[in-house]
């Protein structure tokens, strides 16, 4: 079972799982969900939750009908609902001694490289502190119509950023079917998808798109991102109490298997830079350290070539100008010039502020 072996798990829940059709909060469901998350945390598995529901809870508080709300007002309603949503999570998860934090993201945050790198560091720091990040789409600054339950692609990007092993999309159906199971009695659950193009060839796509709280098409788009990121993706029924436990016990879901390993996906992403912005020349000691899988430190840098910003792709050259690695710089070229040749404990004094000790972290570098 992929879930049992996953170190980092992203779980996406829609507003329909938090608030029922009568606008009542499903407190018992959320409590059972928190209990499941506690079980994962007890096994030292890191968890991120991507949650819809801000507008739904805002509408409940203001006694509005969400179908009649225009964009500008929906942004205000989302702002009101965010407080309600996080209070709900905080109070429920506290019962199981779980600490949560909130991260507001837009698709632009996840798709622009520098912003996504900053987000990754925030996630990593929260994991170290033992907190569970609860990610919401930042509906308060949305520039297009806000769609309920359409956080599937956002969840897949969060899985990509956090280097997750598994993404779980909790839906209102057991998974992906050959036809719409609410219309066709002969619809069959597809347990495993290896190749999206090949395995979806004979599926009645129109029928598939019509069911599910967020639509199945957005889930298929999310699967494409996950498969190319080395991340497994599961579509499962989240309406049950203890939904994560049910996934493990029943084995009744659709899993999309990754096309590549996480390492290969990251290498492909780093190496596929259109054009590196600059380069740094390192000494033999630093080259040896890189070969043993260590990060690049300032002490081993001899020269900086070109201009680059924090987060840019840069080349790493040895003394013979042979490219030996490529990675994402944690500093600007001007900063690297100031700290090159110096030990890490001198960086704060040289720059005048606290920063990272690695010029290129081992996780952001590919040896060539």
pLDDT, one tens digit per residue, over 124-154 is 999 999 999 999 887 666 555 444 346 888 8
pLDDT for the residue 206: 47
* Residues 244 and 296 grouped into a single domain: no
What pLDDT, on a 0 to 100 scale, did the predictor assign at position 186?
85
Task: Verify that 239 and 278 share a domain, yes or no.
Answer: no
Same domain for 280 and 256: no
Q: Which of 247, 266, 285 delimits the end of a domain?
A: 266
- On whether both 346 and 236 belong to a single domain, the answer is no
pLDDT digits (tens, 9 = 90+) for 265-308: 667 667 655 468 899 999 999 999 999 989 999 999 999 999 99
Q: Are residue 182 and residue 92 in the same domain, yes or no? A: yes
pLDDT at 209: 36
CATH number for 226: 3.40.1160.10
Residues 242, 314 within the same domain: no
Domain identity same for 90 and 179? yes
Query: Do 111 and 257 share a domain, yes or no?
Result: yes
Residue 241 shares a structural domain with residue 101: yes
> How many domains in the chain?
2
Range of the domain at 135: 3-266
Report the pLDDT value the prediction gives residue 86, as an integer from 0 to 100: 94
Supply the pLDDT for residue 246.
Answer: 92
Please report the pLDDT score of residue 32 as a whole number.
Answer: 97
Q: Quick one: 311 and 251 in the same domain?
A: no
Are 178 and 107 found together in one domain?
yes
Per residue, the 3-state secondary structure of the chain, as one string, reads CCHHHCCEEEEEECHHHHECCCCCECHHHHHHHHHHHHHHHHCCCEEEEEECCHHHHHHHHHCCCHHHCCHHHHHHHHHHHHHHHHHHHHHHHHCCCCCEEEEEECHHHHHCHHHHHHHHHHHHHHHHHCCEEEEEECHHHCCCCCCCCCCHHHHHHHHHHCCCCEEEEEECCCCCECCCCCCCCCCCECCEECCHHHHCCCCCHHHHHCCCCCCHHHHHHHHHHHHCCCCEEEEEECCCCCHHHHHHHHCCCEEECCCCCHHHHHHHHHHCCCCCCEEEEECHHHHHHHHCCCCEEHHHEEEEECCCCCCCEEEEECCCCCEEEEEECCCCHHHHHHHCCCCHHHHHHHHCCCCCCEEECHHHEEEC
* 128 Cβ contact partners less than 8 Å away, ≥ 6 residues apart: none
| Spans in the chain with pLDDT lower than 50 | 145-149, 205-214, 274
């Amino acid at each position: 079972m992929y879930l049992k072996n996953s170190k980092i798990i992203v779980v996406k829940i829609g507003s329909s799982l938090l608030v029922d059709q009568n606008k009542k909060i499903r407190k018992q469901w959320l409590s059972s969900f928190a209990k499941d998350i506690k079980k994962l945390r007890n096994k030292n598995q890191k968890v991120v939750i991507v949650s819809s529901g801000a507008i739904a809870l805002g509408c409940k508080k203001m006694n509005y009908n969400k179908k009649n709300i225009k964009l500008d007002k929906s942004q205000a309603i989302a702002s009101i609902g965010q407080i309600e949503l996080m209070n709900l999570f905080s109070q429920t998860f506290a019962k199981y001694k779980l600490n949560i934090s909130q991260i507001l993201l837009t698709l632009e945050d996840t798709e622009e490289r520098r912003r996504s790198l900053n987000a990754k560091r925030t996630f990593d720091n929260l994991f170290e502190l033992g907190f569970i990040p609860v990610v919401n789409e930042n509906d308060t600054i949305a520039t297009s119509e806000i769609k309920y339950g359409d956080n599937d692609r956002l969840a897949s990007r969060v899985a990509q950023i956090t280097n997750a092993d598994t993404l779980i999309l909790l839906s209102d159906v057991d998974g992906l079917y050959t036809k719409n199971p609410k219309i066709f009695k002969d619809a069959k659950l597809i347990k495993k998808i290896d190749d999206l193009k090949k395995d979806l060839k004979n599926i009645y796509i129109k029928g598939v798109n019509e069911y599910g709280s967020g639509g199945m098409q957005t889930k298929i788009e999310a699967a494409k991102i996950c498969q190319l990121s080395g991340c497994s993706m599961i579509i499962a029924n989240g309406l049950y109490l203890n939904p994560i436990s049910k996934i493990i016990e029943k084995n009744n879901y659709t899993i999309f298997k990754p096309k590549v390993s996480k390492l290969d996906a990251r290498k492909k992403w780093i190496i596929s830079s259109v054009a590196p912005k600059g380069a740094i020349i390192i000494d033999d000691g630093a080259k040896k350290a890189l070969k043993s899988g260590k990060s690049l430190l300032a002490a081993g840098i001899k020269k900086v070539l070109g201009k680059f910003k924090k987060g840019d792709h840069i080349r790493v050259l040895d003394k013979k100008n042979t490219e030996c690695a490529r990675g994402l710089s944690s500093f600007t070229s001007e900063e690297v010039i100031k700290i090159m040749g110096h030990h890490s404990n001198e960086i704060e004094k040289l720059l005048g502020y606290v920063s990272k000790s690695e010029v290129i972290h081992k996780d952001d570098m590919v040896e060539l």
